[in-house]
Amino acid sequence: MTANTSDTANNTANAGSQNWADLIDERLGHIREQGRWREYRELDLFGPRGHRVSRFGARLPALSFASNDYLGLSTHPELRAAAKDAIDRWGTGTGASRLVTGNRPVHLQLEAAIANWKSTQAAVVFPTGFAANLGVLTALGTADVTIVSDSLNHASIIDGARLSRADVEVVSHGDFAALEQAVQQAHGPVLVVTDTVFSMDGDALDVQAVATVCRRHGAALVLDEAHGVLGPNPTNEDLGGIEVVRVGTLSKALGSLGGFVACSQRVADLLVNTARSSIFTTGLSPADSAAALAAVNIVNSPEGDELRSTLRKHVDRLRPGHPSPIIPIILGGEAEAVRSADRLLEQGLVVPAIRPPTVAPGTSRLRVTLSAAHTEAEVDRLLVALDALGISP
């Protein structure tokens, strides 16, 4: 009897495992059939320059136009020195949540510097920008709240809104009439959340217009400024009269890793006490924190002004007046986008093809991102390569 029961259990387990294997294989096959297979590419880069490793193991020269290292700070000597010093003082990891034993002096120094930079009462650092958005939206998005979100917001905002207990209303991208209607018709407290620069189109939001809607109806405003290296970045005082929460990342223009929330002291206290994406994870590493602190200091110095000026010139070289270093080149079809990216890669230029489901069907594109670390000659090289393919930026 025991043996038969055991055999039955084993057979059931084997069948279940096989069902899971079939399910996963079916999903992978569907991805391949759609031409949307993705895999990691090995790149050995220092800043935008270095080598890519082919699938046959060959090391080939590579120049990246695909990084979010907008100011080129990831290789800055001051960031590298700060990270090394932090490792020598505190080691490589914090070993615990910040509420246990994972809080270091450098975390507090970084938060003070961010609050000063953003002209807010306080700031809270998170392990990633994704975690920062999850923390804000789940902490503020209680069951009596309505979250109103732009349809092209980042995945971290979408997931944060879904994980919250709030009602969620999604409005068409940049549609201020729809935004006004959604806020006006919502029941209970309203939280409007939006990117300031959108990651796939590189377009900038009229932050003042959104703030005006919020002010008119007493809504709070969450701004994700992850890509806002060239603006728009009005201060909370400029947006006056409403609760403004600013979310940012330490891993893009600041060249390190992590995320932050710059906010009022009461919101900071709420995050420390209720944001699960901070409470139940290990504190940001000392090296990343120290590098980010060095980056904040540079960004707020004359050197930072020079880096932004260089970046602005590069952007204007490709697309005059464009508001961000993210330049989408819409090609339409997925195959055409992949083919164009492959031809650029053959010339040593790394420019990713962005396809559905990341963007809408029929809007597949090359996504160029520029950095102050690029030279004028490198930007011109990209322009020549695009022109040879019959592509205008």
Q: What is the mean pLDDT of residues 308-335?
A: 97
Pick the CATH number of 76-299 from 3.40.50.2020, 3.40.640.10, 3.40.190.290, 3.40.50.300: 3.40.640.10
Q: What is the mean pLDDT of residues 326-342?
A: 96
**Given this model, what pLDDT does residue 218 score?**
97
5/127: higher pLDDT: 127
Identify the CA nearest to 291 among candidates 299, 301, 280.
Answer: 299
Residue 230 identity: L
**Given this model, what pLDDT does residue 326 score?**
99
Token look-up 């999903």 returns 27
**Given this model, what pLDDT does residue 232 score?**
74
Token look-up 């043996």 returns 3
User: pLDDT tens-digit profile of 236-250?
Assistant: 888 988 999 999 999
Of 39-43, 188-192, 303-307, the poorest mean pLDDT is in 39-43
Q: What is the mean pLDDT of residues 78-101?
A: 98
Of 98-107, 232-241, 281-290, the poorest mean pLDDT is in 232-241
**Given this model, what pLDDT does residue 57 score?**
87
Q: What is the pTM of this model?
A: 0.93
User: pLDDT tens-digit profile of 150-207?
Assistant: 999 999 999 999 999 999 999 999 999 999 999 999 999 999 999 999 999 999 999 9
**Given this model, what pLDDT does residue 240 score?**
84
Q: At what angle do helices 302-318 and 376-388 cross, to 10 degrees?
A: 20
Q: Report the share of the chain in percent with pLDDT over 90.
A: 89
- The residues that bridge with 224 in the sheet, in sequence order, are 195, 247
**Given this model, what pLDDT does residue 10 score?**
64
**Given this model, what pLDDT does residue 174 score?**
95
CA 254 to chain centre: 12
- Reported as a pLDDT band with limits 50, 70 and 90, residue 71 is very high
Strand, helix or coil for residue 98: coil
Examine the pLDDT at 39 and tell me if it is beyond 70: yes
Examine the pLDDT at 3 and tell me if it is beyond 60: no
Q: What is the mean pLDDT of residues 134-138?
A: 99
Q: How many residues are present in the chain?
A: 393
Examine the pLDDT at 1 and tell me if it is beyond 60: no
Q: Report how far residue 254's alpha carbon sits from residue 309's, in angstroms, rounded to the nearest whole number.
A: 16
Task: Answer for the pair 76, 70: CB distance below 8 angstroms, yes or no.
Answer: no
Task: Answer for the pair 95, 79: CB distance below 8 angstroms, yes or no.
Answer: no
Written out in words, the top-level CATH class of the domain with range 43-70+325-388 is alpha beta
DSSP letter string over 357-368? Answer: TTS-TT-EEEEE
Domain ranges, ordered by start, for the chain? 1-32, 43-70+325-388, 76-299
**Given this model, what pLDDT does residue 9 score?**
59
**Given this model, what pLDDT does residue 295 score?**
99
Residue 107 class from Cβ within 10 Å (0-12 exposed, 13-18 middle, 19+ buried)?
buried
- Reported as a pLDDT band with limits 50, 70 and 90, residue 36 is confident
Quick one: CA dihedral 276, 233, 315, 386, positive or negative?
positive
- Reported as a pLDDT band with limits 50, 70 and 90, residue 75 is very high
HSE-up (13 A, CA, CB side) for residue 152: 17
Q: Report how far residue 383's alpha carbon sits from residue 262's, in angstroms, rounded to the nearest whole number.
A: 38
**Given this model, what pLDDT does residue 12 score?**
61
Q: What is the mean pLDDT of the chain?
A: 95
**Given this model, what pLDDT does residue 8 score?**
63
